[in-house]
Structure 1
């Protein structure tokens, strides 16, 4: 399937880092798409029409005119970036990129995104939140800080999908009541600049 001549439709929620990842990559690579705002909070992902597209009821979900449907943000990013400079040529660097993509979904998103959702959208007080959750966020940011201290990007010497994925929720850290460590904050600004996205804080 050629992405150059197949206009895709992205069902996404603009407050979701997972959805914004797809937008960042498509915009960076000049891939055309139609964006259909699909609110999780308004339960628009639970309608019969949407569940017919994606029975898991999750965004982002991408469709093409030929009927193909793809979900899961990192799978979508990998498809869009195939053959681009966002995926390292070197096999080991490419494996490192995958390592960070898996870590982002398993450890990073499940900490930062969850705390942000509870504090910023559900408006829960600190005593209503599992005390282990902020500690997990601190550990995640600490790991990122240590990794970025001697380097500018997560993999190699230039922007990759690892950065595009990890910046999506990291740049919303203030909405989770978190402060970014020095090197992480500098990396966020660097990646936002390269992706030509607005700096939030």
Structure 2
């Protein structure tokens, strides 16, 4: 099971990496909030463990960003002990909260509980809407049975939306996943590529019903419209 650790304490991350690997976890780590979002999009971990006090983006902001497109179990491991911090993290979408310092046996027990809640990926690699079929395994798109040519970037955007159908995917999440953290404020790229995707996949590109823009927030792939 893959777990993402987001924490700016390298010694703690090193210790957790060794301990969790010994218990069968595949560990990836991010040193700050922005990197955590990018790594979550790239690696698709089954559990996310994060601190609240991280540089660039704090833990609560990361939780909000992740909850825009994934239901992956999130456990907060933080030195903040105030009830307000715990409530804020849980309200943002965290599943559990462990206070530093912690006993490793307790943390492992919490992780086992979260792993039982982790949702496995769908066995069906094809996502369909209207006369469009998106084959995630073959990385191919057909419309009315005819292959649709997509550029690599168009495919990346469509694939991300197709893996989270019906969910709001924030602009920042898409930008971070595709172009990296240095481009997270430039949404002109997304408008251009979404327009191209609509021309190729929507019956009426000027009035899309499947590739939807959520004003000021991001995008959503609606399958049943």
**TM-score, structure 2 normalization:** 0.29
Larger relative helix fraction: 1
Indicate the structure whose relative CO is greater, using CA pairs within 8 Å and at least 6 residues apart.
Answer: 1
**TM-score, structure 1 normalization:** 0.31
